[in-house]
Chains A and B, each alone.
Chain A
């Protein structure tokens, strides 16, 4: 869909591959809402079981599902990497991912989760590492890289590191490892996860889609070329050095915050330089996401310099808002386009227009729910009662997404079943 020139018919992944990951991400999002209701404000204590469970529901269940949807869709077109047998590969990933996440979430909540940690490690480690290796090897074979493909390569590399570090952590929890570096590598695990994987993947994709979707000037080559390298370089060096210099993260965290904050400011500026400044919900999702990234980095800096713990909690909340907001922006671009594109490529004259798949007003309503959800979480930092509102709104937020996926899929199948095919050469339906 989003390569320099667009999606070629030969490379388009089956629509079901992309939709199914969006759907499982939405279902895990609803589970996350349920967990918020269950644990209450305990989720704001980073060391609590509730916080760890919710974090992994969001990062693995929601974000990884959405990001696999994006990768299956975009790798062929942004990087020209064709994944053979995409349905089979999606099966390899999705079933172990879903069961592995469930096993992990239950393991976190058991006093002795040894067996479940082992099962989760096998399922998650096996599935993510194997698809990651396939995607990485295809990317490494590319003769010519764009800033986006190079960034995606590094983000996938970071994902591999996240998984390997996670396996070390679960090996410790199951008693298989001594865990002598447990705390240090735990910091590396979430830093690589949040900044090397989530943030870098979004950044890499933005190098291409901000210009293409919103007709803005392109990013300066200094940024698109060196920002991904700088992020991964800082993360890699910090992880290695932390084994001998444990305080290294106190130096690298501000550096990461400055780089990511600078990226957010630059992209916000790019969005003010659009040739046709029409504003739809996706533009607002980008603006809110980038604003959240900036606030997350500022609060992270403030917390590192000794601010109140509540500032640290805000930093995580804003980072979550960054990631989800951008994912929703992409969702509202991808789902209508794919539905329309696949039906048109199959020659259906009666294919719904993109605005009929998901109406722009529907996306705007979702934006309002999203803002209310994030506002409730923020208020819950001071007024406990708001956590219940936040939990219910989270269920609604992701239920909405799930409904849009099912609705688009039903439209797609209905058009295939009853739609008229059009032979444009003949100018008639056939």
Chain B
């Protein structure tokens, strides 16, 4: 049977020379390579004592935004949920009552808002879809957990601290962010 193409090469298999048969030179050569790596810059860091800076375009854990008066921006329009390719976002809308005007910015708000971090692929399409500046992907990632239940994030986990009623935590979170920016 002839070859299909004429690109086939015949492999030469010469018998090994004396030095090659000793194996020692090759072993020493390999060890020398290993030894030089002791003086090179390490590729790893001592996490969690040291942390790598995130890129400014990093897409991490979601936050739900509030405005300067501490009211929630989200109006449960469902655009993040319809944009989500992993179908990770679900919500329930409710009507704002007259005594809740300091809590929610518009007449409709998300009474329940959940992101399933097991489904989320951190693509950032929810952030792009949001017409109300309500959802942002932050520069952290979701912490690990022992159970699946711990990955269903509700509004308690997602909302940023209220700048009016919870100034301390708000400043703390803001300070963290500014420190991160300064380190870059």
Asked whether A and B interact, the reply is no
